[in-house]
Amino acid sequence: MTEQPRTALPRLIYEIHLYVPKTGTLTPAMLNWLFEHGQSTDQPEMFWPVRRIRPKALARLMLRLDPSLIPIRGPGEDVELHYPNNELGIVLYVHDRGAILFFPYMAYSIYSRIVLGICYTYIRYLYDTQGFWSYDPQLDVISYADDFQSIEDISRLMDAIMPKMLPQ
């Protein structure tokens, strides 16, 4: 009997947006403003609901937490930090208003727990050291990285919702 070749499962790239709200709390109204005006260069600083950051300084901070991250220059002053294991596919993209954490969604997999654990560590570190809040646009959830239980809650939500979004 010959073994059938395995086909790669489709992978959905998941993203978590990270911002430092000027008021100390990230709200849906702030996210709406960012969605509408976030790409604009003509908005006065006083209208921005989130703090401006220095991408290279934040990248250096993350490299102190995890020296194995691989920094790559992005467009302009942006910086990408790649997790050294390509199979896990974790990338932290740092821009002048925050960061976006990209990782593959792997349904019902032990790897999904590993990836979520690494990502949660980064999110929690950024919250504790810099006041970053996170926004999950796939699940429409705002979080301030309050405890480890949230990783289990997010994992259950992902496993309930995300498989429906994968192509058949």
**Domain boundaries along the sequence of the chain:** 12-160
Torsion angle, alpha carbons of 15, 61, 148, 88, to 10 = 50
pLDDT at 145: 61
Report the percent of the chain where pLDDT is more than 70: 76
Q: Which residues contact 54 (CB under 8 A, 6 or more apart)?
A: 77, 96
Q: Does pLDDT of 127 surpass 70?
A: yes
**Per-residue pLDDT averaged across 41-57, rounded?**
95
**Per-residue pLDDT averaged across 64-70, rounded?**
97
Cβ(115)–Cβ(131) below 8 Å: no
Distance separating alpha carbons of residues 143 and 130, to the nearest angstrom = 14
Confidence of residue 140 (pLDDT cuts 50, 70, 90): confident
Amino acid at residue number 47 = F
- Please give the CATH architecture assigned to the domain spanning 12-160: 2-Layer Sandwich (3.30)
Q: Does pLDDT of 135 surpass 60?
A: yes
Give this prediction's pTM.
Answer: 0.81
